[in-house]
Structure 1
Amino acid sequence: MILFSNPVLSLLSGVTTVLLLVQPHANGQACNSPAAKYPATFAGGLSAKVLINGLKNPRSLRFDTLGNLLVVEQGGAGVRQIKLTDDGTNVCVASSKQIIADNTLNHGIELSADGKTLYVSSVNNLDQYTYDAAAGTATNKKTLVNSMKNGGGHLTRTLLIPKAYPDLILMGRGSDGNVDQGAKQTSSGRSQIRLFNLTQVAATPVAYATGGTLFAWGLRNPVGIGENPVTGEIWSIDQGEDDIKRSGKDVHNTNPGEKLNFHGLVSDTKGPLFGANYGYPECVPAYDTSVLGISGIKTGEMFWVEGTTQTTTQDANCKSRIAPRLVFPAHNSPIDIKFNKDGSRAYVTWHGSWDRNPPDGYRLDRVEFLASGQPKEPSTSTQSGLHVMSNNNMGSCPGSCFRPSGLAFDSKDRLFMTSDSSGEIFVLKGT
């Protein structure tokens, strides 16, 4: 033990804990593993295990119907199946093998409700495979959605099948670069989340921008898409613009806030949120209001950033866009969001900053939710998340630290998390 201080459409507290590192075990004995690559600090009451290391840029995770863990290894590996053993106390790796060898896969993964169809994404395509959990095989590849490649940047295509609507899939696509003027037009298919009918696209593949239905737009890079398992409502966590100025003044170090967006239900096709604009690229949310020079603006409220000079008249135009439900520190780069089984907490991975000094992010946060399905904190809060797992030495980031990426809960409500930079998968307890 090592101590660390029916389809709807036709389509905080004290910090100290124990990090227990393990690997395969037998006869109820704790399994052994190498030490974590980088030391971590945890919020009180939390413990964790390193299941496996040596992976190649592990990103999104999914559990199959037999409790096997599937992980996308970005940039050269494909998809890996990890079989687990669990004696009620220790969860460990029994075996690990690559089941899809495809160096274009980079992030998205999802399973059909019956667990027999596996969906994965690359920069350009959404593909499906016939999946056999017991045999550990993925066969019969077929492309369902195509034509998603951007000219530069934002390569992930996050996938989510809503639990109540297993014939539908949500897919997020980010902007082409930092400020994508083309994203002002929904026809671009960029900076959007779109909803596709899986039966239809399996019969007739479509292009992203012209297929499916627009679910939300004005989202710069909605890498994290999550579903509250109690309410069925959809949330996204969105990465804000870099290097912004306000009337010529550089305010980028602490603005804009990273966004937690509320989208409601996929079934609410006549509601105000379905197909709504969330602001990008013209409007962004304030985080640090002290440097903006905008009278009366509050944290979480949107302001205009387009052009060399911005005015309060332009700011007023932002009121027609959907403001975030919560904001977080600038440039922390959210990657994933997952809710626990009773919807009382959401967990967010922060991949970390490059466009601010000092570095920030590189941690796992917990956001408290009310029984209503809304966050406990008001939209003006700057204390929206509890840091539950953080790097000990933030100054060493990004070069020498873990960088949280994908999340998944197992059937026992234990949270699993990847760190792509260190090639590790953790399992956390006490969340």
Structure 2
Amino acid sequence: MSLLALTASLHAVAAVAQTTCSSVLVPSYSPPVVASGWQAQLVAGGLTKPRTIAFDSTGALLVLESGKGISRHSFTDNGGTCLAPDHAHMIVELTSLNHGLAISNDGKTIYASSVEAVFAWDYDAEVGIVSGTPRTLIANMSNSDLVTRTLLMSKKHDGMLLVSRGGDEDDPAASEIVSNGFSQIRAFNLTNLTTADPSPHYNFNTDGRVLGWGLRNSIGMAEHPATGGIYAVENSVDSVKRNGVDLRENNPGEELNFLGYLNDTNPTTTNQAGKNFGYPQCFAVWDLADIPENDRLAIGKQIAFMGNTLTDQMCAARYEPPRLTFPAHYAPIDIKFEEGGETAYVSFRGSFASSSPVGYRLSSIAFNAASGEPVAAADSNDALTDILTNQDLTACPNRCFRPAGLALDSVGRVWMASDSTGEIYVLQKTGESGNGRFVGGDGGSSGGSGGGNTGGGIENAAGMIWSWRTELLSWTFVAAMGAWLTC
């Protein structure tokens, strides 16, 4: 074993050991089930429908609270998942904000979205304040029902902001005309914009580069950290028929779609459309057993359903199939990659559009870090590995967590918002086999009932002293082992 690997292992051991927090939050519903090799803890509550979350350059957590604005949160970090809130304040109060949030790569600008527009604020992360009035960068995005506008700032191509816009549920056919701007993901170059530029600077329907269209509602977007490939998770329709058979229970599947690369020279024109993923004409197969005339079909294949004149063969020829397909109604909301690109995390907010609730979980997908491709084949039915799930889905959606935004911090912990319960969870790998651990629920230390209490003062100091002792012992052992390894 190398010294580096040994050091990493010892830090994992230290993180696992620090599981007993002096006081923890306890959910008002059944504690989540945590996968083997993971530990989870509820670290914040009382928020207003938290959707997208992101870390600023100081390590503070920004939370877009739908219908309220953007809040900034700092925590006392006692090691592992033992974090206690120590300060929170609103930095933007704007009730029209409902989902999207991004931060410029230099950390000096915050972007957020409403149904209609994308706004920008100058931001001072050191003191946690915005200055000036919000600037409208992109407008003309309104439509009915599918109202989230996810924002993704590219790390590979500075100044490139990706914006997703869902379809118009009152007129699905409008998504078949690219110039309408529905059911699309577009990329906008913000590099040369200044505070003096006219507002709004861009019109969503006529400006930007179309990375993909025929996407009913691609809420989550991510850029692979090694290759720069753009992926999006798609919420498909709730109800379809084929040959008079209602397939809504298990079809069509939700999707992971690959949109290509921002540095692609084909297409070369600004507004030339990227790949078309089929909506509203064709949909992806999930459960073959439910589908009439399913010969030559497989999971992920684009097929025709009632209501159009296309054949399965025409669907396959004209439209791009998903790279992976997930169970119907899971409702993926966000996707985030680990730093090395070997794992993507996906939050499934869940749905009760089937006979029983499904989804309501945080899962992972294995990727090949070098190629930027999922390890699983396109027709796989087991590409997902569950990490955090609800104990009893029959209690959903009212008495369970509903995952929304995700973020990874500087030490690799996964942060997850639950919008329906107004909470933030933190998860960390432990490397242990056997049952995972939820701190504050069954098998963990608990701190009361209902909303619980946060640790502070002397109790937090005790935790920090414990963590310091653990670190000292760990590094002492590392030094000794390092000397032994070099002999």
Task: Tell me, yes or no, whether TM beats 0.5.
Answer: yes
Letter of the 1:400 counterpart: R
**8 Å CA contact 1:300, 1:379 repeated in 2:** yes
- Cα deviation, residue 136, structure 1: 1.3
Match status 1:52 vs 2:44: yes
How much has 1:316 moved relative to structure 2? 2.5
Instruction: Letter of the 2:314 partner, please give it.
Output: A
Could you tell me which residue of structure 2 aligns to residue 268 of structure 1? 264
1:245 equivalent to 2:238? Answer: no
Structure 2 unmatched runs, 5+: 1-14, 431-487
Match of 2:182 in 1: 190
SS of structure 2 residue aligned to 1:194: strand
Q: Identify the match of residue 339 of structure 1 among 337, 340, 356.
A: 337
User: Is 2:147 the partner of 1:148?
Assistant: no
Alpha-carbon distance in 2 for matches of 1:376, 1:274: 28
Structure 2 counterpart SS, 1:106: coil
Give the 3-state SS of the residue equivalent to 1:181 in structure 2: helix
Q: Does 1:362 align with 2:326?
A: no
Contact persistence 1:21–1:49 (CA under 8 A): no
Say if 2:31 is the partner of 1:30: no
1:226 and 2:218 equivalent? no
Q: Quick one: which amino acid aligns to residue 238 of structure 2? A: D
Contact 1:20–1:47 (CA under 8 A) maintained in structure 2:
no
Distance change in 2, residues 1:149/1:425 (3 Å): same
Match of 1:223, SS state, is strand
Offset at residue 305 of structure 1 (A): 2.2
| SS of alignment partner, residue 218 of structure 2 | coil
| Deviation string, structure 1 residues 222-257 (Cα, Å, up to 9, x no partner) | 100011112111100000012100121101110001
Structure-2 residue corresponding to 1:207: 203
1:71 aligned residue (49, 63, 79): 63
Identity of aligned residues (%): 38
Which amino acid in structure 2 is aligned with residue 297 of structure 1? L
RMSD, aligned CA: 2.2
Q: How many residues align?
A: 404
Quickly say closer, same or farther: Cα 1:41–1:283, change in 2 above 3 A. Answer: same
Give 1:83's aligned residue.
Answer: 74
Check the 8 A contact 1:19/1:49 in 2, yes or no.
Answer: no
Q: Aligned residue for 1:95? A: 87
How far apart are the structure 2 equivalents of 1:51 and 1:128? 29
2:321 to 320, 323, 326: 323
Bigger Cα displacement from structure 2, 175-184 vs 320-329? 175-184
Decide which moves more: 316-325 or 66-75. 316-325
Residue 199 of structure 1: how far off its partner (Å) = 3.6
- Structure 2 contact 48–419 (Cα < 8 Å) conserved: yes
Instruction: Single out whichever of 260-269 and 214-223 deviates more from structure 2.
Output: 260-269
- Of 154, 174, 197, which residue of structure 1 is paired with 2:166? 174
- In 1, distance between residues paired with 2:248 and 2:283? 12
The alpha carbon displacement at 1:271 in A equals 6.1
User: 1:274, CA displacement in angstroms?
Assistant: 6.7
Q: TM-score, normalised by structure 2?
A: 0.79
Cα distance in 2, alignment partners of residues 316 and 181 from structure 1: 17
Task: State the distance in 2 between where 1:87 and 1:93 align.
Answer: 11
Q: Secondary structure at the match of 1:214?
A: strand
1:378 maps to which residue? 377
CA contact (8 A) 2:240 2:306 kept: no
CA contact (8 A) 2:178 2:273 kept: no
AA aligned to 1:60 is T
Q: 2:397 aligns to what? A: 398
CA distance in 2 between counterparts of 1:227 and 1:274 reads 19
Aligned-partner residue type, residue 33 of structure 1: V
- C-alpha distance in structure 2 between counterparts of 1:201 and 1:148, whole Å: 20
1:317 and 1:239 mapped to 2: Cα distance? 19
* 169-178 or 385-394, larger mean C-alpha shift: 169-178
SS at match of 1:290: helix
Task: Provide the C-alpha distance between the structure 2 equivalents of 1:381 and 1:318, rounded to a whole number of angstroms.
Answer: 18
1:186 touches 1:217 (CA, 8 Å); kept in 2? Answer: yes
| Higher share in helix | 2
Q: Distance in 2 between matches of 1:414 and 1:101?
A: 28
* Distance in structure 2 (CA, Å) of the matches to 1:314 and 1:67: 49
Cα deviation for residue 269 of structure 1 reads 3.2
Letter in 2 for 1:191: S
On the 8 A contact 2:241/2:306 being kept in 1, the answer is no
Q: Which moved more, 1:267-276 or 1:197-206?
A: 267-276
Larger Rg computed on CA atoms: 2
What CA distance in whole angstroms lies between the structure 1 residues aligned with 2:275 and 2:179? 14
Deviates more, 1:35-44 or 1:123-132: 35-44
1:351 maps to amino acid: R
Aligned to 1:287: 286
Structure 2 residue 105 is the aligned partner of structure 1 residue 106: no
Q: What is the CA-CA distance between 1:175 and the residue it aligns to? A: 0.8
TM-score computed with the length of structure 1 as normaliser = 0.89
Q: 2: CA distance between counterparts of 1:296 and 1:33?
A: 53
